[in-house]
A and B are shown apart, each in its own frame.
Chain A
Amino acid sequence: MKKLLSNSLFLLFLRLILGFIFIYAGGEKITIPDKFAESIANYQLLNNFFITLSAVVIPWIEVFAGILLISGAAVRENTAILSVLLFIFIAAGIISLIRGLDIDCGCFGEVSVKLGLAKIIENILLLTAGIILIIHGSGKYSINKME
Chain B
Amino acid sequence: VQRKIYDKLSPGKIIFIIVLSSLTAFLFNYLNPEGITIIQLRQNENGISSDENSIVEFFKPVTVETTDAYLLFTKNVQFIDVRPPEEYKSGHIPNSINLPLEYVKDTEKIIDQISKDTPLVIYSSKSDVNLNKTAAEQMFSSGYKKLYIFNGGIDEWTDAGYEVVR
Taking Cβ atoms with an 8 Å cutoff, the residues of A that contact B are 30-34, 37-38, 40-42, 44, 47-49, 51-53, 55-57, 59-61, 63-65, 68, 74, 76-78, 80-81, 134-135, 137, 146
Q: How far, in angstroms, from A146 to B39 measured CA to CA in the complex?
A: 34
Q: How far, in angstroms, from A37 to B37 measured CA to CA in the complex?
A: 11
The answer to whether A60 and B25 have CB atoms under 8 Å apart is: yes
Given contacts A34-B34, A37-B59, A49-B39, contact A137 B8 (CB under 8 A): yes
The answer to whether B17 and A48 have CB atoms under 8 Å apart is: no
In the complex, whether B100 has a CB less than 8 A from a CB of chain A is no
Give 5 closest A-B pairs by Cβ, nearest first. A41-B59, A60-B25, A77-B13, A61-B21, A64-B21
Say what secondary structure dominates the interface of chain A.
helix
The answer to whether B17 and A74 have CB atoms under 8 Å apart is: yes
Q: Interface size (B, Cβ < 8 Å)?
A: 30
A residues near B47, Cβ cutoff 8 Å? 48
Q: How far, in angstroms, from A33 to B40 measured CA to CA in the complex?
A: 16
A85 to chain B, nearest CB (A): 11
Q: How far, in angstroms, from A22 to B119 measured CA to CA in the complex?
A: 38
Per the 8 Å Cβ criterion, residues 1-60 of B in contact with A are 1, 5, 8-10, 13-14, 17-18, 20-22, 24-26, 28-29, 32, 34-40, 45, 47, 58-60
